[in-house]
Amino acid sequence: MPGLLLKALKTPLELADYDLGELKPGYAKVALKAAALNHRDYWITQGLYPGIELPKVLGSDGAGVVVEVGQADDESWLDQEVIINPGSDWGTNEAAQSDQFTILGMPHHGTFSTHIHVPIEAMRAKPKHLSWEEAAALPLSGVTAFRATMSQGQLRPGEKVLVSGIGGGVATLALQFAVAVGAEVAVTSSSEAKLARAKELGAIAGFNYREEGWTKKAAESFGSPNLIIDSAAGKGYTNLVAIAAPGGRIVNYGATTGAPEKLDMFKLFWKQLKLIGSTMGSPADFRGMLNLVEKHEIRPVIDQVFSLAQGNEALARMEQGEQFGKIVLRI
Amino acid sequence: MPGLLLKALKTPLELADYDLGELKPGYAKVALKAAALNHRDYWITQGLYPGIELPKVLGSDGAGVVVEVGQADDESWLDQEVIINPGSDWGTNEAAQSDQFTILGMPHHGTFSTHIHVPIEAMRAKPKHLSWEEAAALPLSGVTAFRATMSQGQLRPGEKVLVSGIGGGVATLALQFAVAVGAEVAVTSSSEAKLARAKELGAIAGFNYREEGWTKKAAESFGSPNLIIDSAAGKGYTNLVAIAAPGGRIVNYGATTGAPEKLDMFKLFWKQLKLIGSTMGSPADFRGMLNLVEKHEIRPVIDQVFSLAQGNEALARMEQGEQFGKIVLRI
């Protein structure tokens, strides 16, 4: 069947036939209706990911219809509309994934394809209020945002939240989740357009982190955040430690601008801060995320929809970093 | 009445009469039986503390007998044997102390004295299994160790705990608390003698952090700690981040060797670590600490006992850093 194959690093994806192999017991074959891009997919094309095996169909996010099951016991899944948890083998420790944890799209073939084989236990019913494109936009960003904000960040209603670098899939869903549970949310970006979009989604304040003294302005007009959701780290991290409320939590689900210059340990212990790492999420996080999305009818923001054949244009859109929300492939 | 007054920075304490002022309603006058030293007292003598007002009687830790109350309502406290919570005005947020939070011994007169005025709400019944010296050794170290290990560190039975820099009052009680709740505890020190003492208190392993490759040895023979209790930070912090188990917590109640050289953010999010600041504790922490101490009949380790008149010798003992456990003044 056809899928977008990465055959060699730093080459365009190629729409080509490949072999999904035998459908094993405990697995289902899903005819994908839509898939979505993550930064992970781009990093893999650049070789910036451990354990790359080529050729491989990329893609961690997808939604579609079950067309075949590997054993008779699972026939009730046939024709079901499903959304796929991209994570497998999290393990038994809610606090962290096991060494066996993998994500769809490497080392197993992913969702940039007409079909995929997935473990039965990875499938959940597609939330009814979502289109196929919206459903496909949800899994990896959704579970990552849920774990960062709720499971690791322990957000409570009425708290102040700052989501840095708004526009990315995780950051945008973290904003939406925080608004849904009754938090007051501010965002940062270097783009005034993205700050404006975030306010449409419920942010009550937006700050341009390129502006000198933005933290002072934020402290005065918004207050000190109880929870900060960040994926940049780097030089700006010192500002986050400074602006966090006493007892505040700073959750990082990435560190795209590298290590912080210096960690102010005095502030850490005197302000009783918690600096928390978070990545992807467990099956419990995935279920919790879907419950939250269904309860509040949250819709992930779609930046742009491409066809499967336009996969390289979709990757180029991600590389530019201009997107607000998810880049989706309609299949 | 007589107390050990600090009249000017970097001068010896002076045993002299001073005025405790009027006993206000809501307060009690306690005839102290013993007091204990903390690093805080030494730092104040060196001017290394904010908001120093002189002359002042130092001392945060004390235990004694109530001899007078400020209002008739509190007469049931008369003649009671009490231990004193050194913290006042924590505030309503369990996650962090308020700006009004103070500790006995600066800005209010402290426990290096025959008598002290304390708020009624700061007093708790002295645990019956403790001597006066042991009771006096408990409050500030105990509440700090309890908050770091239990409230912030969320230690659970069966987990592996590493307590760095064993020998100090907080570290030693953290070791004892962790052993009491059923954790497996390892310690570090640069002193073989202190490592040996820690094993007598229940540590199952001890590592000399001056030894090249101690983390490798620790990982092999002890395993990866779920919880690390540290007050050094500095260069050694990188080792702690590296050795922590996936999902592990590193709690710092100080940073005596300064800021870490570099924070490995990739390890932070990939291992889902929590870097947690902690200092002193709330009234709830103080009560929780006393409950734990009474339930398991924990006795704080006494390094050496001096008389009130030997206060400067006691401070010199602390300055040397050779102590294991608390330095106490018998009054």
Region for B280 from its dihedrals, namely left if φ exceeds 0, alpha if ψ lies in -120 to 50, beta otherwise: left
Structure tokens at B296: 């398991």
**Chain A hits for B233, Cβ within 8 Å:** 265
pLDDT tens-place string over residues B118-174: 999 999 999 999 999 999 999 999 999 999 999 999 999 999 999 999 999 999 999
Nearest to B31 by CA among B67, B7, B58: B67
B277 → closest Cβ in A259, A268, A278: A268
Using the Cβ of B87 and the Cβ atoms of chain A, whether some distance falls under 8 Å is answered with no
Q: How confident is the model at residue B91 (pLDDT cuts 50, 70, 90)?
A: very high
Say if residue B44 is in the same domain as residue B171: no
What is the count of structural domains for chain B? 2
Percent of chain B with pLDDT over 90: 97
Say if residue B226 is in the same domain as residue B155: yes
Say if residue B165 is in the same domain as residue B112: no
Say if residue A168 is in the same domain as residue A114: no
- Scanning A121-160 for CB atoms below 8 A from B yields 152
What confidence score (pLDDT) does residue A111 get? 98
Mean pLDDT of A169-194: 97
How many Cβ pairs closer than 8 A exist between chain A and B?
A: 108
What confidence score (pLDDT) does residue A261 get? 81
What confidence score (pLDDT) does residue B142 get? 98
What confidence score (pLDDT) does residue A214 get? 95
**Chain A hits for B254, Cβ within 8 Å:** 269
Distance CA B180, CA B174 (A): 10
Mean pLDDT of B176-192: 97
- Give the phi and the psi of residue B267 in degrees, each rounded to 5: -65, -40
What confidence score (pLDDT) does residue A321 get? 86
**Chain A hits for B250, Cβ within 8 Å:** none
- Give the phi and the psi of residue B253 in degrees, each rounded to 5: -105, 15
Using the Cβ of B91 and the Cβ atoms of chain A, whether some distance falls under 8 Å is answered with no
Say if residue B231 is in the same domain as residue B305: no
pLDDT tens-place string over residues B34-47: 999 999 999 999 99
Distance CA B10, CA B44 (A): 9
DSSP A127: P
CATH number for the domain spanning B227: value is 3.40.50.720
At which residue do the structure tokens 């959304």 appear?
Answer: A83
Say if residue A159 is in the same domain as residue A260: yes
Residue-wise burial string across A250-279, b where 16 or more C-beta atoms lie within 10 A, e elsewhere: bbbbbbebebbebbbbbbbbbbbbbbbbbb
Nearest to A233 by CA among B16, B264, B137, B100: B264
Q: Is residue A292 part of a domain?
A: no
Say if residue B233 is in the same domain as residue B133: no
Length of chain B as a residue count: 331
- pLDDT at B50 exceeding the cut of 90: no
Using the Cβ of A49 and the Cβ atoms of chain B, whether some distance falls under 8 Å is answered with no
A272 → closest Cβ in B260, B273, B277: B277
Using the Cβ of A247 and the Cβ atoms of chain B, whether some distance falls under 8 Å is answered with yes
B279 → closest Cβ in A233, A252, A272: A272
Say if residue A307 is in the same domain as residue A192: no
- Which helix (DSSP H) or strand (DSSP E) does residue B195 occupy? helix B192-200
| DSSP assignment of B154-168 | ---TT-EEEE-SBTB
- pLDDT at B321 exceeding the cut of 90: no
Residues A20, A1: contact at Cβ < 8 Å? yes
What confidence score (pLDDT) does residue B135 get? 98
Mean pLDDT of B325-330: 97
> Do B246 and A93 count as a contact with CB atoms less than 8 A apart?
yes
DSSP A325: S
- pLDDT at A262 exceeding the cut of 90: no
Distance CA A245, CA A227 (A): 8
A263 → closest Cβ in B96, B248, B260: B260
Is the ipTM reported for this complex over the cut 0.85?
Answer: yes
Distance CA B15, CA B7 (A): 10
Q: How confident is the model at residue A51 (pLDDT cuts 50, 70, 90)?
A: confident
Q: Is residue A15 part of a domain?
A: yes
Mean pLDDT of A60-77: 97
**Chain A hits for B265, Cβ within 8 Å:** 233, 252, 255, 258-260, 277
Using the Cβ of B275 and the Cβ atoms of chain A, whether some distance falls under 8 Å is answered with yes
Distance CA A232, CA B265 (A): 10
Domain hosting B149: range is 143-277
- pLDDT at A169 exceeding the cut of 90: yes
- pLDDT at A190 exceeding the cut of 90: yes
C-alpha separations of B199 from A184, B202, B296 in Å: 49, 5, 18
- pLDDT at A26 exceeding the cut of 90: yes
Percent of chain B with pLDDT over 70: 100
C-alpha separations of A262 from A259, A267, B259, B265, B271 in Å: 9, 12, 7, 12, 20
How much is the mean pLDDT over chain A? 96
